[in-house]
Amino acid sequence: MKLHCEVEVISRHLPALGLRNRGKGVRAVLSLFQQTSRSQPSARAFLLISTLKDKRGTRYELRENIEQFFTKFVDEGKATVRLKEPPVDICLSKANSSSLKGFLSAVRLAHRGCKVDIPVSTLTPVKTSEFENFKTKMVITSKKDYLLSKNFPYSLEHLQTSYCGLVRVDMRMLCLKNLRKLDLSHNHIKKLPATIGDLIHLQELNLNDNHLESFSVALCQSTLQKSLRTLDLSKNKIKALPVQFCQLRELTNLKLDDNELIQFPCKIGQLINLRFLSAARNKLPFLPSEFRNLSLEYLDLFGNTFEQPKILPVIKLQAPLTLLESSARTILYNRIPYGSHIIPFHLCQDLDTAKTCVCGRFCLNSFIQGTTTMNLHSVAHTVVLVDNMGGTEAPIVSYFCSLGCYVNSSDMLK
Ligand SMILES: [Zn+2]
98 and 145 housed in the same domain: no
Give the distance (Å) from ligand 1 centre to CA of residue 310.
Answer: 20
Q: Is residue 294 part of a domain?
A: no
Is the Cα torsion angle 16, 19, 23, 28 positive or negative in sign?
negative
The answer to whether 291 touches 264, Cβ cutoff 8 Å, is: yes
Helix, strand and coil percent figures for the chain, each rounded to 5: 25, 25, 50
User: If you measure from the C-alpha of residue 403 to the centroid of ligand 1, how many angstroms do you get, rounded to a whole number?
Assistant: 8
Span from the CA of 330 to the centroid of ligand 1 (angstroms): 13
Per-residue CA distances from 196 to 190, 256, 323, 370 (Å): 14, 19, 41, 40
Cα of 404 vs centre of ligand 1, distance in Å, is 7
Tell me if residue 219 falls in helix, strand or coil. helix
pTM > 0.85: no
**Cα(321) to centroid(ligand 1), Å:** 14
In this structure, are 279 and 141 located in the same domain? yes
Exposed (0-12), middle (13-18) or buried (19+): which is 282, by Cβ within 10 Å?
buried
Measure 293 CA to ligand 1 centroid, in angstroms.
16
> From ligand 1's centre to the CA of 356, what distance in Å?
8
Tell me the CA–centroid distance for residue 295 and ligand 1, in Å: 23
Domain assignment present for residue 48? The answer is no
Q: Is residue 95 part of a domain?
A: yes
The answer on 225 and 344 residing in a single domain is: no
Residue 174 covered by a domain? yes
Residue 375 CA to ligand 1 center (angstroms) comes to: 23
- How far is it, in rounded angstroms, from Cα 231 to Cα 103? 36
Q: Report CA(5)–ligand 1 centroid distance (Å).
A: 58
My answer on whether 266 and 171 are in the same domain is yes
**How remote is the CA of residue 308 from the centroid of ligand 1, in Å?**
24
The Cα–Cα gap between 12 and 184 comes to 45
Question: Ligand 1 centroid to 402 CA: how many Å?
Answer: 6
229 and 94 co-located in one domain: no
At 151 the pLDDT is: 80
Q: Give the domain-ending residue among 232, 261, 283.
A: 283
Last residue of a domain, one of 283, 305, 326: 283
Calculate how far, in angstroms, residue 85's C-alpha sits from the geometric centre of ligand 1. 71
Report how far ligand 1's centroid is from the alpha carbon of 10 (Å).
62
Same domain as 1, residue 108? yes
279 alpha carbon – ligand 1 mean position (Å): 30
Give me ligand 1 centre to Cα 74, in Å: 52
pLDDT of residue 119: 56
Same domain for 348 and 394?
Answer: yes
CA 139 and chain centroid, separation: 20
Q: Is residue 343 part of a domain?
A: yes
User: Is the residue at 251 inside a domain?
Assistant: yes
Residue 279 shares a structural domain with residue 143:
yes
d(CA 76, ligand 1 centre) in Å: 48
Give 399 Cα–ligand 1 centroid separation in angstroms. Answer: 8
Q: Are residues 244 and 339 in the same domain?
A: no
Find the 99 Cα to ligand 1 centroid distance in Å: 58
For residue 277, the CA-to-ligand 1 centroid distance in Å is 29
Cα–ligand 1 centroid distance for 387 (angstroms): 33
Q: Alpha-carbon distance 257 to 235, whole Å?
A: 6
Which phi-psi region, left, alpha or beta, contains residue 379 (left: φ > 0; alpha: ψ -120 to 50)? alpha
- What secondary structure does DSSP assign to 346-358, as a single string? HHHHHHHTPEEBT
Distance 359 CA to ligand 1 centre (A): 4
- How far does the centroid of ligand 1 lie from the alpha carbon of residue 355, in Å? 10
Q: Please choose, from the candidates 393, 388, 390, 389, the residue with its C-alpha nearest in 3D space to the C-alpha of residue 377.
A: 393
Whole domain around residue 362: which residue ranges? 314-413
Nearest CA-CA partner of 329 in 352, 288, 361: 361
What is the domain count for the chain?
Answer: 3
Low-confidence stretches of the chain (pLDDT beneath 50) = none
**Is the Cβ–Cβ distance between 37 and 120 less than 8 Å?**
no
Determine contact, residues 27/19, Cβ cutoff 8 Å. Answer: no
* Domain co-membership, 224 together with 92: no
In a domain, 128, yes or no: no
Structure confidence by residue, pLDDT tens digits, 224-257: 999 999 999 999 999 999 989 999 999 999 999 9
pLDDT tens digits, one per residue of 287-322:
999 999 999 999 999 999 998 887 788 899 988 999
Distance from the CA of 255 to the center of ligand 1, in angstroms?
33
Q: Which one of 233, 267, 283 terminates a domain?
A: 283
Distance 347 CA to ligand 1 centre (A): 21
CB 412 within 8 A of CB 405: no
| Residue from 165, 94, 166, 174 nearest 134 by CA | 94
Q: Is residue 347 part of a domain?
A: yes
Q: How far is the CA of 357 from the centre of ligand 1 (A)?
A: 5
Shared domain for 149 and 251, answered yes or no, is: yes
Residue 24 is predicted with a pLDDT of: 77
What confidence score (pLDDT) does residue 83 get? 93
Give the CA-trace dihedral at 351, 355, 360, 361, to 10 degrees.
Answer: -50
Q: Does 165 share its domain with 244?
A: yes
Are 154 and 178 contacting, i.e. CB atoms less than 8 angstroms apart? yes
pLDDT digits (tens, 9 = 90+) for 364-384: 999 999 988 899 999 999 999
The CATH number that applies at residue 219 is 3.80.10.10
Prior bond of 86 cis (ω within 30°): yes
C-alpha 345 to ligand 1 mean position (Å) = 26
